[in-house]
Amino acid sequence: MDKFRVPTVLSIAGFDGSGGAGIQADTKTISALGGYATNVLTALPVQNTQGVRTIYDIPTSAVADQIKAIFDDIYPDAIKIGMVHSVELVECIHQHLRDYHGPIVFDPVMVSTSGHQLIQDNTVAACKELLFPLATVITPNMDELGVLVGKEITHVADMESAGKTLLSLKCKSVLAKGGHLQESILTNLLIQPNNHIERYQTPRIDTENTHGSGCSLSSAIATYLAIGHHLEQSVEQAIHYIYKAIAEAKDLKIGQGNGPLNH
Ligand code: PLP
């Protein structure tokens, strides 16, 4: 019988033993969408649905070795980068991915919903300089967007101008996520060069079970890109997938805090 291939997606991200965010969310998302997930672990946050208790580092050499092992064997059709919390890790990932020509989705993770800082202060500048130019799209939420441009984001119009500012910093495209704006309709903007802006809107679902939604969205985009869809289509389908996964998690009872999506 002929062998068949499935699109392979590498997630380079942090750990969530409670199963909602990080590489666990990525693996579930990629699998649910028909991809094959591989992982490189960047950090070991000790966490559950109630929050992050502490973060153990993974040595930079271990991250480098993991990337090499995957690239030597299961070459990724797309890559998602999530939690990268130190300058050394940014440099290591940059060094190993700079010759990769497939799509890269970078979710510049900074603070968890529960309020724990997931990135060291001096790392944001390194991400901008080294990882943004490698990414096909970056997916900041409005708080992250605010940190990246040094301005508070309070309206959709602010998201648009912040996205345009990031494009001028060698970002190929920006998906600005408006979920943290307290509006009944969520707006996400895909901002591309030449004033090319796509707006995606979904109704807000009243639930606290959204832990890992950003991780899942970025890995869903990476999976659709690995399948071969264009960026706009990939973003649209990924947003639809996350909307459904949150809707299906509405009445799910896992843990005492912000529960996971239902993949
Ligand atoms: N843990 C890891 C490893 C993450 O990458 C993230 C966010 O990207 C979180 C926790 C926080 O997830 P949330 O803010 O959805 O609770």
* Residue 109 alpha carbon to ligand 1 centre in Å: 7
pLDDT at 169: 83
- The phi and psi torsions of 192 (rounded to 5 degrees) equal -125, 165
The span from the CA of 18 to the CA of 209, in Å, is 13
pLDDT at 182: 79
The span from the CA of 153 to the CA of 156, in Å, is 8
Q: Residue 104: how many CB atoms within 10 A of its CB?
A: 24
Give the closest residue (by CA) to ligand 1 atom 11: 112
Q: Is the CB of 24 under 6 A from ligand 1?
A: no
Are residues 16 and 46 in contact, defined by beta-carbon separation less than 8 angstroms? Answer: no
pLDDT digits (tens, 9 = 90+) for 166-181: 998 888 999 999 988 8
pLDDT at 181: 83
Interface confidence (ipTM) of the complex: 0.92
pLDDT at 180: 81
Q: Is the CB of 26 under 6 A from ligand 1?
A: no
Q: Mean pLDDT for each consecutive 10-residue tract of the chain (263 residues)?
A: 91 97 98 98 96 96 98 98 97 98 96 86 94 97 93 93 92 93 90 96 92 97 98 98 96 93 93
pLDDT at 22: 97
Pocket test residue of 11, 47, 50, 118 for ligand 1, highest count of atoms within 8 A of CB: 118
pLDDT at 95: 98
pLDDT at 170: 84
Q: Kindly report the CATH number that applies to the domain delimited by 8-247.
A: 3.40.1190.20
Domain boundaries, the chain: 8-247
